[in-house]
């Protein structure tokens, strides 16, 4: 799941291995969207790590994971002496030379005060965005104390998906807010988490960046996804 999520935005990432967790921060080439991911050591069967950072290409790892059979473990070892990463999946062993991590810049995670949030299942979130994608490229989120609404207008038709407060897993809203975002960035993420994430927290403000938070690996993994708004006059 880690590779699937990161691949929404980038083809490579810098993996920062700490004493008790893994941290990854990436931004797409257009600097429109950003992901911050943290995974506790508790999510892994074993964790024997000296603090280090590795630049890794995501596609080869994703393809290798795709070969895993039920019950296969993924084992990653880094030999600093030879400068190679060994990845073991079942009986398959692949060696990869890391990328130059010094050339991989990491974005600074913004601190955005957002007090308007809706919480719903990953399945509902993905379904709403798939419906919106049938009509247009830009989706409008609106929120008040009674409901969270996903809306998109096309040249000749529109889609509206309302969720009343009682249908949501949570709702926080000090005052009504509305903002527009690109489905090009949202739909791939929503599709990947649709069946594997129980709760998605969506926070935004009037023409503020969107902040999507969710957990995986029984709460040991955490993701914050940031997306810049589409403001009237943007091209």
Is 235 a domain residue?
Answer: no
Both 142 and 205 in one domain: the answer is yes
Q: What is the pLDDT of residue 134?
A: 93
Q: Could you tell me the strand order of the sheet in which 177-182 lies?
A: 158-164, 147-153, 138-143, 177-182
pTM of the model: 0.91
Is 22 a domain residue?
Answer: yes
pLDDT confidence tier of residue 106, bands split at 50, 70 and 90: confident
Average pLDDT over residues 58-66: 92
Q: What is the pLDDT of residue 55?
A: 93
User: Contact 225/133 with Cβ under 8 angstroms?
Assistant: no
Question: Which residue range forms the structural domain that includes residue 58?
Answer: 2-103
Is 50 a domain residue?
Answer: yes
Both 66 and 150 in one domain: the answer is no
Last residue of a domain, one of 51, 73, 103: 103
Measured CA to CA, the distance from residue 134 to residue 156 in angstroms comes to 12
- The full DSSP string for 46-70 is -----SEEEEEEHHHHHHHHTTPPT
Q: What is the pLDDT of residue 234?
A: 55
Measured CA to CA, the distance from residue 84 to residue 104 in angstroms comes to 18
Q: In the predicted model, is pLDDT for residue 183 greater than 90? A: yes
């Amino acid at each position: 799941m880690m590779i699937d999520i990161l691949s929404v935005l980038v083809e490579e990432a810098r993996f920062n291995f700490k004493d008790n967790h893994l941290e990854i921060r990436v931004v797409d080439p257009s600097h429109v969207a950003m992901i911050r991911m943290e995974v506790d050591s508790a999510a892994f069967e074993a964790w024997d790590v000296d603090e280090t950072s590795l630049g890794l290409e995501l596609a080869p790892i994703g393809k290798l994971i795709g070969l895993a059979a039920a019950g296969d473990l993924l084992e990653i070892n880094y030999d600093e002496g030879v400068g190679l990463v060994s990845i073991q999946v079942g009986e398959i062993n692949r060696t990869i030379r890391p990328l130059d991590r010094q050339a991989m810049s990491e974005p600074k995670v913004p601190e955005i005060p957002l007090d308007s949030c809706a919480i719903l299942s990953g399945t509902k979130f993905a379904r709403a965005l798939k419906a919106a994608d049938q009509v247009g490229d830009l989706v409008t989120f609106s929120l008040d104390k009674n409901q969270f609404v996903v809306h998109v207008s096309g040249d000749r038709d529109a889609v509206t998906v309302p969720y009343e407060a009682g249908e949501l897993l949570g709702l926080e809203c000090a005052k009504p807010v509305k903002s527009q975002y690109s489905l090009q960035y949202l739909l791939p993420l929503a599709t990947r988490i649709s069946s594997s994430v129980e709760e998605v927290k969506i926070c935004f403000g009037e023409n503020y960046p969107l902040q999507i938070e969710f957990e995986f690996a029984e709460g040991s993994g955490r993701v914050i996804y940031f997306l810049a708004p589409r403001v009237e006059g943007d091209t």
